[in-house]
Amino acid sequence: MAEATTIARPYAQAAFDQAQKQGDLKGWSGVLESLKSIMGNAEVLALASSPKMPVATIESLVLSLAGTSLTQHQQNFIRILADGHRLSVASEISEMYELLRAEAEKSVDVTVSSAFDLSDAQQQKIVAALKVRMGREIRLSCKLDKTLVGGIVIRAGDKVIDGSARTRLSDLTNALA
């Protein structure tokens, strides 16, 4: 994993720099997410990783799967990845790009897991509280996790705020043991 991250870093930075130059951070996010999805397919990954497969064939396969809405710069980026046999780190490139984008936009992706669906009002309260606490714009996504019993778990980058009933019950059990 560390090696993939090391390999992906300069590519993510190059994509980010180009996206900033073009003023299209969101568009590049979509392209990299699409590339991550394409390379997440085991058959495509196997073909792209095969030393017997000509690079031109790999390029045209990935570009055709990526769609026709790619700019010339985005197509060239994919070609560079294919030529350098770096398509296998598309997932890491996408993740690192999103970190760079979030930093530039002064935003953070937050995932809230809860045992029950959160209402819009509850989501807005969570966003408002986190915005004050973190000093950044919040991009919220919610997940349903029935194993929590109650409460919520908030994940923002490497920070976790665990307010779940499951954890509180576990803490109580440990205290009584």
| Backbone φ and ψ of 93, nearest 5° | -60, -45
pLDDT at 1: 53
For the record, the structure tokens of 20 come out as: 């900033």
pLDDT at 2: 63
State the residue for tokens 């197509």.
75
Lowest mean pLDDT among 3-12, 76-85, 90-99, 152-161: 152-161
Same structural domain, 74 and 61: yes
Residues 6+ apart with CB under 8 A from 71: 22, 24, 27
| Domain boundary pick from 48, 71, 103 | 103
pLDDT attached to residue 37? 96
> 43 and 125 share a domain?
no
Rounded CA-CA distance 26/9 in Å is 19
Could you read off the pLDDT of 47-78 as tens digits, one per residue? 998 989 999 999 999 999 998 889 999 999 99
The sheet that has 151-156: what strands, in order across it? 137-144, 107-114, 151-156, 159-164
- 87 with 122, same domain: the answer is no
Q: What is the mean pLDDT of the chain?
A: 91
How many domains, in total, are found in the chain?
Answer: 2
- Assign 93 a pLDDT band (cuts: 50, 70, 90): very high
Q: What is the mean pLDDT of residues 93-102?
A: 93
CATH number at residue 33: 1.10.520.20
| Same structural domain, 89 and 73 | yes
Residue 107 has pLDDT above 90, yes or no: no
Domain membership of residue 168 as a residue range: 107-176
Please give the structure tokens belonging to residue 50: 């095969």
The Cα–Cα gap between 158 and 140 comes to 15
Note whether 152 and 114 are within 8 A (CB).
yes
Give the position of tokens 């070609």: 79
The SS3 call for residue 165 is: helix
Mean pLDDT value across residues 91-100: 94
What is the rounded radius of gyration, in angstroms, for the C-alpha atoms of the chain? 20
